A and B are shown apart, each in its own frame.
Chain A
């Protein structure tokens, strides 16, 4: 047995991020309480550096290193780039909010960067063990972030729920992985796929492992029946953290599904397809119907996330390259939409006031027409109405599912998205047709307002010209899975 020293070049972005955030951890000790802005600027710089390393290595090829534990392919590059970008937006949106709530501390940034590192590790994992470690890195950082507001009872409750359920899901996932290891004798995704394809593994044990694996994955994605933590975390966590939870971790979860189900368990498509159909149907049904009854905007967005994840699964479960790239397009547009939606909530929140009930949006048009228009764009995008990114995302996953011959599922999904349109349109009605309770226009940091405008207009832009992003997704998926 000879040992090949790992090729570190593909892992440069991760290595850079880890070094940068360790330096941040130490540097933060010496930064004066009044100059905390430096920490923020440093964190943003670290993200820019990571993005730079990602761009430097951008080549359309698949590199496997660390003895088959780490894979660097176009899919990984694209997803990492989007995660880094999303986290950068998250930091910019939440700066004002966390400053006014006493959370503007080094730990907030360090933990968010650690979580991002976890997501990046998950995206590039080519080995069950690495995947699991990346996941734990993410979960642990998230859990601490949710509980960061220690004096808030609902935040502690949310963190506790998340922690207990995450531990349970990790246990299930590990049990599933160990079953698959027992059946195939390998932890490496490609080898597992080969062994299964050759029929050298006991199908009974494989299916048993698969059930546990899908359950664990579903928890991470937050889909029914493993969704219980989602609304509580969205409502309980500080809005800035909730914003983070809806972005990078969802990309990580998507990568998780791609690597484990489409990659390692690819030959077992019929088995996991039927499991995902059940999960997707339940998510779309429960997410959309329950969201109607919510008066808290964050809770409503939580249920809408559940239904969005159901739609995302439609793309994955169709099991074709087209389906995967549709799902990827969906996750990217979802991240953009929820960034913008939470960015709005953060913009409207002030000192000691959370703009998280529906009535806070009453008559927004009279207060700040431009932001009302942004919210309009976000909402029609979430509802999937044409001339928005959300429309093309839904169209893509639905046509992928149709190609896979799941007509009844497509009909059901369309019906559910009609139900869902109600609560998105209700916000538009509140903004444009109701009288505001207070008429002061919105104030916010100029970078926050600028980024939010860019974010909202991107949704509109993708609704008019979705082709570049669709092409990018298709190319990444095609090169990575058949590379």
Chain B
């Protein structure tokens, strides 16, 4: 209950915080409390993954980006009240839909409590490397493609770069730079 309250509060903070850095920190708090909720639901793997991946990597990256980009916060606020009815309406609609789905007949399955001795991290790991090994390997291949694609699309040598190769500089010969022209001696006036 405490966790849920903090989570909701932090999520609100993300939207309302005036400073983008504060908003990002609120999001970190929200992730922490969500992972606490998951821990209490015996989903320790998800909880750890959330902290490691989102808090540890994604949000830190976000913070860097936010700090570097120097966003004009005042400009972002323009039109907040104008769009509020639409956004609020959509949010309300989603709450109603979720309530309908959760309370619906088709999705209200009884979840059996997990026995104390079962560790879901171990179970997940076992499944991942046995039954789902093909999918796991394919996911790795997709990551490889992503790396290749990202490098192929962004790596370019700048034409206006002032970089000079010292080896080339040393190897230069006099004849590359200097042209000796045979000229007749000019007559004195």
Contact = CB atoms under 8 A, between A and B. Distances in A.
Interface of A: 3, 6, 18, 22, 25, 66-67, 69-70, 105, 107, 110-111, 114, 117, 121, 127, 129-130, 133-134, 136-137, 140-141, 143-144, 147-148, 150, 182, 202, 204-205
A117 B106 CA distance: 38
| Interface class of chain B by DSSP | helix
A150 B152 CA distance: 10
Contacts of A140: 142, 145-146, 149
Given A140-B146, A182-B107, A67 B153 contact: no
| Interface class of chain A by DSSP | helix
Interface residues of B, number: 21
B134 A69 contact: yes
A-B pairs, 9 with minimum CB distance: A144-B149, A107-B152, A133-B138, A66-B134, A3-B130, A67-B131, A69-B134, A129-B135, A114-B145
B170 to A, nearest CB: 23
With most chain A CB atoms within 10 A of its CB, the pick from B139, B144, B148 is: B148
A69 B152 contact: no
Contact of A110 (B107, B135, B139, B148): B148
B24 to A, nearest CB: 24
B17 interface: no
Contact of B148 (A25, A147, A205): A25
A129 B145 contact: no
A148 B153 contact: yes
Interface of B: 106-107, 130-135, 138-139, 141-142, 144-146, 148-149, 151-153, 156
Contacts of A143: 149
B148 A69 contact: no
Contacts, number: 71
A69 B141 contact: no
A67 B127 CA distance: 11
B153 A137 contact: no
A66 B134 CA distance: 7
B145 A70 contact: no
B106 A141 contact: no
B130 A133 contact: no
B147 to A, nearest CB: 10
Given A117-B141, A205-B106, A141 B149 contact: yes
Given A130-B138, A204-B106, 13 more contacts: A3-B131, A25-B148, A67-B131, A105-B152, A107-B151, A111-B148, A121-B138, A137-B138, A137-B142, A143-B149, A148-B152, A150-B156, A202-B106
B131 A144 contact: no
13 contacts: A66-B133, A67-B132, A107-B151, A110-B148, A121-B138, A129-B135, A144-B153, A147-B153, A148-B153, A150-B156, A182-B106, A182-B107, A204-B106
B132 A6 contact: no
Contact of B139 (A22, A127, A133): A133
